């Protein structure tokens, strides 16, 4: 309330055009920008193989998340969100991830949601460790999972769900949700990511939830063979498709472009993620 929230701080000294956009486009799904991007499989796979030979496990998902965390450290605009038609800078870098709890049982697939917190100067190794620690709990039926446990408890009182959700929406609008709900809610995060290739789907454009404040959603699809132009001419290459859904209200198009190009550079050159960034960039006052 009054520009104060447990998960962020209101940004008043930013581009006035950015500040007015939430009044024009009131919901996240009203403000979606959609883009499909393809990552070159070869340099990423080569890096994973080299790390594997050294006894170090790295996944595609870890590299995507590490690249996003590094991008936020240099382009903090990518960690903004909209609430009550105001622009906020998030206090933490939070990533929500959808995982399969019983991937081997194709007839009865069960999904779980995990939410991870990353430091802005995290290296690829540190990101990988955080993911592995959270995945162990997510796929273990006996382990505690805050999001799953909360959903299971609230569904025992189905008649109250509508009232509870309506109240949560109201409180969230003014930043008054209890902290424990922010902590377990996967819908309050910097980025939401899912690997739909694991269930046999191509890259999709996933919607942004109007509940919560997620501004970036990435869906990784099945690898594809595509003809690309190289210095030697046309070449068939294996590519990793990504469907990106972005809330365009958080910043201007130029900022999106710079951040996205940086993100892609980090993914396709993962050795850059082995070291900490030279500096962490913070939000700077708008200058006309």
| Tally of CB atoms within 10 A around 278 | 7
> What is the rounded distance in angstroms from the CA atom of residue 19 to the CA atom of residue 13?
9
Question: Beta 86-90 vs 191-195: how paired, if at all?
Answer: unpaired
Query: pLDDT tens-digit profile of 148-178?
Result: 666 777 777 777 778 888 898 999 988 899 8
Query: CB-side exposure of 170: number of CA atoms within 13 Å?
Result: 6
Structural domain spans, the chain: 17-102+109-144+186-273
> What is the rounded distance in angstroms from the CA atom of residue 228 to the CA atom of residue 207?
29
Beta strands in 126-195 (DSSP E): 191-195
- Please say whether the beta carbons of 21 and 31 come within 8 A: yes
> What is the rounded distance in angstroms from the CA atom of residue 70 to the CA atom of residue 228?
27
Q: Residue 142 above 60 pLDDT?
A: no
SS3 36: strand
Both tokens of residue 145? 């999972």
Query: pLDDT tens-digit profile of 29-39?
Result: 889 999 999 99
Query: CB-side exposure of 180: number of CA atoms within 13 Å?
Result: 3
**Overall average pLDDT of the 47-52 stretch:** 93
CATH fold of 17-102+109-144+186-273 reads Chloramphenicol Acetyltransferase (3.30.559)
**Overall average pLDDT of the 193-200 stretch:** 89
Query: pLDDT tens-digit profile of 217-267?
Result: 999 999 999 988 888 888 899 999 999 999 999 999 999 999 999 999 999
Share above pLDDT 70 across residues of the chain, in percent, rounded to a whole number: 90
pTM above 0.75, yes or no: yes
Query: pLDDT tens-digit profile of 60-76?
Result: 999 999 999 999 999 99
């Amino acid at each position: 309330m009054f520009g104060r929230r447990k998960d962020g701080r209101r940004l008043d000294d930013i581009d006035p055009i950015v500040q007015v956009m939430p009044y024009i486009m009131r919901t996240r799904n009203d403000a979606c920008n959609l883009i499909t991007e393809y990552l070159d499989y070869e340099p990423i796979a080569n890096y994973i193989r080299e790390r594997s030979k050294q006894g170090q496990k790295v996944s595609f998902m870890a590299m995507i998340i590490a690249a996003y965390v590094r991008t936020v450290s240099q382009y903090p605009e990518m960690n903004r969100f909209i609430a009550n038609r105001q622009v906020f800078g998030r206090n933490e870098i939070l990533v929500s991830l959808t995982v399969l709890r019983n991937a081997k049982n194709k007839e009865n697939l069960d999904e779980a949601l995990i939410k991870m917190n990353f430091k802005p100067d995290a290296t690829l190794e540190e990101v990988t460790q955080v993911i592995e620690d959270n995945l162990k709990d997510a796929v273990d039926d006996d382990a505690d999972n805050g999001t799953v446990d909360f959903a299971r408890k609230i569904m025992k009182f189905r008649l109250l769900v509508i009232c509870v959700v309506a109240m949560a929406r109201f409180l969230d609008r003014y930043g008054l949700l209890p902290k424990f709900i922010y902590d377990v809610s996967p819908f309050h995060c910097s980025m939401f990511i899912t690997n739909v290739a694991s269930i046999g789907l191509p890259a999709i454009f996933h919607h942004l939830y109007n509940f919560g404040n997620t501004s970036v959603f990435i869906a990784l699809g099945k690898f594809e063979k595509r003809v690309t132009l190289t210095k030697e001419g046309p070449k068939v290459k294996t590519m990793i498709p990504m469907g990106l859904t972005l809330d365009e209200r958080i910043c201007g198009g130029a900022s999106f472009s710079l951040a996205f190009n940086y993100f892609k550079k980090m993914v396709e050159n993962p050795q850059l993620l082995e070291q900490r960034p030279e500096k962490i960039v913070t939000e700077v006052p708008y200058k006309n």
